[in-house]
A = this chain, B = another copy of it.
Amino acid sequence: MITIKEIAQLAGTSRGTVDRVLNDRGKVNPLMQERVLQIAREHGYRSNPYAKALVSGKQKYRVGVVINSVGNEFFDDVLLGMRDEASQSRAYGIELVIREIKGWDEGEQLGALDMLLQDDLDALAITPVDTPAVYDRLNALAPLPIVTLNTDIHKLDSKLAFIGCDYLNSGRLCGDIATLALPKGGRVGVVTGSFHLSGHNQRVEGFREAVAVNPLIQVTDVRENNDDNDLSYEVTHRMIAECAPDLIYFCAAGTAGGMQAVREAERAIKVVAVDDSPVTRQYLEQGDMLALVTQQPYKQGSTMVNILYNYLVLSLRPEHVHHYMENQVRLRHSI
């Protein structure tokens, strides 16, 4: 593997100049620039991450995080994952500045962003609302590296990575469970978060696709709970009364509220749901739920820090932009 020193020799210049070219620090004679680049290309130069890490050992990188975690348990593990990873020696130098907000309000999100930007940031991680205002604001931040978490915004100039879930696949796996548990068919009700969130709709779509292998399974009803436990209770209660489902699929948040209604029902109703939380996990272990399909929130958080560490400290850009966490099926005895 060729080094900067050798490139400098070959190009008849100094290591400093090669460094300037290779790292876009500007102020280099265009001819020399081209010459260095040419040599680097020919010899397949790749920088040594350890040397980089060693020399920039003292430097701190501030990573701003805007996350709508308030009142949404799912993000607890995402936060845990990023904090754990940032405190590891292998992410030495990354400092997280976290602003937690509630819900998906554009104004709140922009406000939190402004607060963060009052100090210098080296990178930003955000669970963005996909509206024009947020898009414009983020786009204007270039070349600040941005990681979108859990929800994506397309065509962002300086988007380094998206980290999240394959919703369609998540729905299909829940459909697989339903198919397993209803060998003789049956009626299925779905409680979703919002008809306006593409992730939720994709889950329902994937679920329908998967249960279609057994024509005796009918999805009789899909209702919204706005990710709210109280509303979820109401909606589920009514659905049970009106549709008499054999199985219910909770494909968003508000599962705890819905389960209340399930337990009050007179007939036994099978349940499959998404995301691991103390509450859902307890239902699973007690046998009140067949399965959970999770999107690895902890790993979402740790992956985010890891990607930014590689980029900021080691100058390693991720190989691809989209990082889908594998959906995992959790059963009663999953650890």
Which A residues have a C-beta under 8 Å from some C-beta of B?
46, 48-51, 53-54, 57, 89, 166, 169, 172-173, 175-177, 179-181, 183, 206, 210, 213, 287, 290-291, 326-335
- Least CB distance from A33 to B in Å reads 26
- Contact status of A49 and B176, CB under 8 A, knowing A169-B335, A328-B328, A332-B210: no
Extra A-B contacts (19), CB below 8 Å, given A181-B183, A210-B332, A213-B287: A46-B89, A50-B51, A166-B335, A169-B333, A173-B331, A173-B334, A175-B333, A177-B331, A179-B332, A180-B180, A180-B181, A180-B290, A180-B291, A180-B331, A181-B181, A206-B333, A326-B335, A327-B334, A329-B330
Bound-state CA distance A333–B175 (Å) is: 9
Chain B residue contacts of A333, Cβ below 8 A: 169, 172-173, 175-176, 206, 210
Chain B residue contacts of A175, Cβ below 8 A: 333
Chain B residue contacts of A291, Cβ below 8 A: 180
Bound-state CA distance A46–B90 (Å) is: 13
Chain B residue contacts of A51, Cβ below 8 A: 50, 54
Chain B residue contacts of A179, Cβ below 8 A: 332
Bound-state CA distance A51–B206 (Å) is: 49
Chain B residue contacts of A328, Cβ below 8 A: 328-329
Bound-state CA distance A166–B333 (Å) is: 12
Chain B residue contacts of A183, Cβ below 8 A: 181, 183
B331 and A329 contact, CB distance less than 8 A: yes
Chain B residue contacts of A176, Cβ below 8 A: 331-333
Closest to A182 in B: B183
Chain B residue contacts of A173, Cβ below 8 A: 331, 333-334
Chain B residue contacts of A177, Cβ below 8 A: 180, 331
Bound-state CA distance A332–B334 (Å) is: 19
Bound-state CA distance A57–B328 (Å) is: 38
Cross-chain pairs A/B with CB under 8 angstroms, 16 sampled? A46-B89, A48-B57, A50-B54, A50-B57, A176-B331, A177-B331, A180-B181, A180-B290, A180-B291, A181-B183, A183-B183, A213-B287, A328-B328, A328-B329, A329-B329, A329-B331
- Least CB distance from A85 to B in Å reads 15
Chain B residue contacts of A57, Cβ below 8 A: 48, 50
Bound-state CA distance A328–B54 (Å) is: 38
* 5 shortest interchain CB distances as A-B pairs: A172-B333, A176-B331, A329-B329, A50-B53, A50-B54
Question: In this complex, which of A50, A206, A291, A334 has the most chain B Cβ atoms within 10 angstroms of its Cβ?
Answer: A50
B210 and A49 contact, CB distance less than 8 A: no
Chain B residue contacts of A329, Cβ below 8 A: 328-331, 334
Bound-state CA distance A51–B57 (Å) is: 10
With beta carbons under 8 angstroms apart, the residue of B49, B54, B89, B169 that contacts A89 is B49
Bound-state CA distance A57–B51 (Å) is: 10
Closest to A170 in B: B333
- Least CB distance from A56 to B in Å reads 10
Closest to A213 in B: B287
Bound-state CA distance A169–B53 (Å) is: 40
Bound-state CA distance A50–B313 (Å) is: 12
- Least CB distance from A4 to B in Å reads 13
- Least CB distance from A198 to B in Å reads 19
